[in-house]
Structure 1
Amino acid sequence: MDLQDQLKNLFPDHIEEEKTSKEDESSNVWMQDDPIICKYEKRKGKPITIIEGYTGANSDFKILAKEIKTTLSVGGSFKDDKIIIQGDYRDKIMQMLKNKGFTVKRVGG
């Protein structure tokens, strides 16, 4: 019997709790009927991607913003029910949102 088996015998619920808490975080996002709008703009000569149209709770949208920023390793912010990402990452963001189950509409350029 190795160390992993001994730990499972001593703490059978511990491993299951970690898995369920990670699954709960990703499944808490509100799914909606209307598509999320992903558009491209230039502000002060620099490209930005704006994501808007989410109808769920602001806290869920902030979690989504943080996940997008960390996945793409870019800067951005959450203001006025919009996620603003620095740079033109529409294709990658749209693919991420589709993988999560959202419908996405591309606007502009």
Structure 2
Amino acid sequence: MDLQDQLKNLFPDHVSENTSEDINESDNLWIQDDPIICKYEKRKGKPITILEGYTGATEDFKLLAKDLKKQLSVGGSFKDDKIIIQGDYRDKIMDILKNKGFKVKRVGG
């Protein structure tokens, strides 16, 4: 018995606003007009991919970072409104973002 069933038992007359809609957080990202910039750099001799230029909410950008790291099975971080992914994954990241509906611009190399 999950929380929804327990609440229905406690309040049988209450009508829920979104009963059958399961909200997927990664699908509700704010799509912007300006492209996200995908850069490649080397720091301390190791390759990294940097994504910047997102103008939506910071929480949405953090969710996007988490989703990208999970799909690519790599490490990374979110600092100063930038997503930093360990390794050179520009092509894969650009494909993932285009499938989500973002415009992506490749910078450098």
Matched, 1:97 2:108: no
CA drift at 1:29: 0.5
Q: Residues 77-107 of structure 1: CA distance to partner in whole angstroms, max 9, x if unpaired?
A: 0000000000000000000000000000000
Is the Cα contact below 8 Å between 2:31 and 2:101 reproduced in 1?
A: yes
> Which stretches in structure 1 are left out of the alignment for 5+ residues?
1-15
Instruction: Give the structure 1 partner of residue 40 of structure 2.
Output: 40
Indicate the SS of the match to 2:23.
Answer: helix
The 3-state SS of whatever aligns with 1:21 is coil
Q: Where in structure 2 are there 5+ consecutive unaligned residues?
A: 1-18
Tell me which of 17, 20, 23 is aligned to 1:21.
23
- The root-mean-square deviation of aligned C-alpha atoms, in Å, is 1.5
What is the SS of the residue equivalent to 1:20? coil
Amino acid at match of 2:23: S
Paired with 1:27 and 1:45, the residues of 2 have a C-alpha distance of 35
Return the TM-score normalized by structure 1.
0.80
* Structure 1 or 2: more helix by fraction: 1
Superposed structure 1 runs of 4+ greater than 3 Å apart: none
CA contact (8 A) 2:49 2:88 kept: yes
